[in-house]
Amino acid sequence: MIPARPYAFAIDRLRKAGLRPTRQRLALLRLMFDGGDRHVTAEQLHAEALAAKLRVSLATVYNTLNQFTAAGLLREVVVEAGRSYFDTNTSDHHHFFFEASGRLQDIPGADLKVSDLPPPPAGTTVSRVDVIVRVKSPDNN
Amino acid sequence: MIPARPYAFAIDRLRKAGLRPTRQRLALLRLMFDGGDRHVTAEQLHAEALAAKLRVSLATVYNTLNQFTAAGLLREVVVEAGRSYFDTNTSDHHHFFFEASGRLQDIPGADLKVSDLPPPPAGTTVSRVDVIVRVKSPDNN
DNA sequence: AAATAGTCTAGAATGATTCTAGACTATTGA
DNA sequence: TCAATAGTCTAGAATCATTCTAGACTATTT
Ligand SMILES: [Mn+2]
Ligand SMILES: [Mn+2]
Ligand SMILES: [Zn+2]
Ligand SMILES: [Zn+2]
């Protein structure tokens, strides 16, 4: 018997996002979401996919991550020029950024408050507030 | 008489940063700091330099901006993958980011407070806290 | 099963940034 | 004053992340 059931939820998520449930998208969706909250780059996910014997091109990984982000399944986080992290946690939260390792770690939204934010300039609305707490190891680096 | 005086302060700043006061560095320093608080990319500064009849290579603009940043004269701000802004304001402050135009605007440090920040992970110290308030025009984009 | 729209991929292209290696320049100190 | 030295500058190549292209392939619809 074919284990068609495990994919039922993933198929549904893709359909709701208006994306055809293809082999690549299903596999990437599971790689991203089967491991709790994650912050991965396209290159990292591509390497994971190859390690899992999945054949996907890097272009498809980029396309898929961007489509998932546009659909609200992922959130893109930028902390360093020339590198994008895709975050499976789309709720309101912030990040620690480990400068030495390049790793990101969630700070739950409730744990941190931004107050006295001046009103946004006339004619604009706030689309997102990002707080990045950069930390370093006093030793390494 | 040669106007050697206007450069006196700039020469001093470079010397204190351990950088030889060369023609290129002096000119770039003045371009950056003669106009109040600024947020510029390397490409933008290079274009300004050329417009001001200064002969500098883009490589030198990058080198210089990175040296100034390392010396604490500038601060690098990243809000989008693949693009670095160099900020002449090195005091504690945050930013509005206009998604439509790609422009940055300062939010004075005193105007915005981050509270209830959890302690940084063991063995690390906070090197900087960046708050980016992304705003969009409801019309354009 | 054919038609259609959507997707995938290798590889080229792009854009920002860094590197290379040789020419040039500021600083030092005899 | 001027060579020796360390530091700097530059054009162009290289690198790296990301996007684009165009044709082959696939899911969905009829
Ligand atoms: Mn993107
Ligand atoms: Mn840099
Ligand atoms: Zn996160
Ligand atoms: Zn600023």
φ/ψ of B47, rounded to 5, equals: -60, -40
Contact between chains at A107 and B118 (C-beta distance less than 8 A): yes
Q: How far is CA A66 from the centre of its chain?
A: 10
Mean pLDDT over B14-37 rounds to 95
Question: Which pLDDT band holds residue B6 (cuts at 50, 70, 90)?
Answer: low
Of residues B139 and A91, more confidently modeled: A91
Q: Is A114 helix (H, G, I), strand (E, B) or coil?
A: strand
Residues B121, B122, B124, B128, CA torsion sign? positive
Report yes or no: B95 and B106 within 8 Å, Cβ to Cβ: yes
In this prediction, residue A57 has a pLDDT band, given cuts at 50, 70 and 90, of very high
Beta bridge mates, B133? A129, B96
- Ligand with an atom nearest the CA of residue A40: 3
Question: Residue B131: its chain A contacts at CB < 8 A?
Answer: 114, 129-131
Select from B141, B9, B137 the least CA-distant residue to B73: B9
Q: Are B106 and B114 in contact (CB under 8 A)?
A: no
**Which residues, including other chains, have CB under 8 Å from residue B93's CB and lie 6 or more apart?**
B106, B107, B108, B109
Percent of the residues in chain A that have a pLDDT greater than 90, as a whole number? 82
- Whether A138 has a pLDDT exceeding 90, the answer reads no
Checking if the pLDDT of B95 tops 90, the result is: yes
Chain B residues in contact with A82 by the CB 8 A cut-off are 81-82
The percent of residues in chain B predicted with pLDDT above 90, rounded, is 82
pLDDT band at B82 (very low <50, low <70, confident <90, very high): confident
Over 90: is that where the pLDDT of B38 sits? yes
Confidence band (pLDDT; 50, 70, 90) for B13? very high
User: Residue B3: what pLDDT?
Assistant: 45
Please report, rounded to whole angstroms, the spatial distance between the CA atom of protein residue B72 and the C1' atom of nucleotide D4. 32
Partner residue facing A125 (CB), from B107, B123, B135:
B135
Domain ranges of chain A: 8-86, 91-135
Looking at residue B73, its pLDDT comes to 97
Residue B111's pLDDT is what?
87
Q: Residues of A104-124 as b/e, b for ≥16 C-beta within 10 angstroms?
A: bebbeeeebebeebeebeeeb
Beta-carbon separation of A134 and B130 below 8 A: yes
Contacts of B99 in chain A (CB under 8 A): 127
Please tell me the predicted confidence (pLDDT) of residue A99: 92
CA dist., res. A134 & res. B46, Å (int): 29
The mean predicted confidence, pLDDT, of chain A is: 91
A105 residue type, one letter: Q
Rounded Cα gap, residues B120 and A132, in angstroms:
12
C-alpha distances out from residue A131 to A107, A111, A137, B131, B132, Å: 9, 12, 20, 5, 7
pLDDT band for position A139 (cuts 50, 70, 90): low
A2-24 mean pLDDT: 84
* pLDDT reading at A1 higher than 60: no
Lookup: tokens for A114: 């931004």
Judged on CB neighbours under 10 Å (0-12, 13-18, 19+), A67 is middle
Task: State if pTM tops 0.85.
Answer: yes
Give dist(CA B132, CA B141) in Å, integer: 19
What is the C-alpha to C-alpha distance for residues A123 and B97, in angstroms, rounded to an integer?
14
pLDDT of residue B7: 77
Distance of CA B73 to the CA centre of its chain: 8
Which pLDDT band holds residue B8 (cuts at 50, 70, 90)? confident
pLDDT reported for residue A2 = 41
pLDDT digits (tens, 9 = 90+) for A79-134: 998 899 999 999 999 999 999 899 999 998 888 999 999 999 999 999 999 999 99
Query: Quick check: B55 contacting A, CB < 8 Å?
Result: no
Choices 3.20.20.450, 1.10.10.10, 3.90.1150.10, 2.40.100.10: CATH for B8-86: 1.10.10.10
Mean pLDDT of B126-138: 93
